[in-house]
Amino acid sequence: MLPLGRVLRAVGSLQQFRCLCSKAYGDALPSSCDVLIIGGGGMGASSAFWLTSKARQRGKKLNVLVVERDHGYSKASTVLSVGGVRQQFSLAENIQMGLYGHDFIMNSQKHLGDVDLCFQPHGYLIMATSQGAEILTRNSKLQNELGARNKLLGPEALRKQFPWLCTEQN
């Protein structure tokens, strides 16, 4: 068990906090927890979710506390990037992580219960010059093989689909 008062004072998070654990503590600071996570963005919330889920699956109780200083998440990268879950990478591991994240979000109710994440997928448009075309083609092939569906468009098809786009090369 972590003695919370001392730990939180050490990281300077005591001013404001929000608990994203099974029990809402309001403004009262619990005196201890098994795992303390500083920051309730995507990484902190996900760590808390998986730690408690896995412990529950094993019939164990794990008291995980997430401390967040910004109640509105106004500066969290997680919130600033909610428009997309990128899967267009060149490394298989990155593509698989993107696919996993996308699947989790699309099936969030299965994992999180009756929570609407309001996710509106819009997709990505990754551009390359003629020098980068070979790499883009190779990446696209790998992505499609792993299940990250995408298609390659040449300049003409791009102009047709995105008339605002300048496809000229200097």
Ligand X SMILES: Cc1cc2nc3c(=O)[nH]c(=O)nc-3n(C[C@H](O)[C@H](O)[C@H](O)COP(=O)(O)OP(=O)(O)OC[C@H]3O[C@@H](n4cnc5c(N)ncnc54)[C@H](O)[C@@H]3O)c2cc1C
- Which residues contact ligand X (rule: CB under 6 A)? 11-13, 38-44, 67-70, 73, 76-78, 80-81, 84-86
Q: Which is nearer to ligand X, 30 or 155 (CB)?
A: 30
Cα separation of 41 and 68, whole Å?
8
Q: How far is the CB of 31 from ligand X (least distance, A)?
A: 18
Q: How far is the CB of 72 from ligand X (least distance, A)?
A: 9
Q: How far is the CB of 37 from ligand X (least distance, A)?
A: 9
- Contact by Cβ (8 Å): 101, 50: no
Q: Which is nearer to ligand X, 13 or 144 (CB)?
A: 13
CA distances, 16 to each of 26, 38, 68, 125, 154 (Å): 10, 12, 7, 39, 52
Q: Which is nearer to ligand X, 77 or 107 (CB)?
A: 77
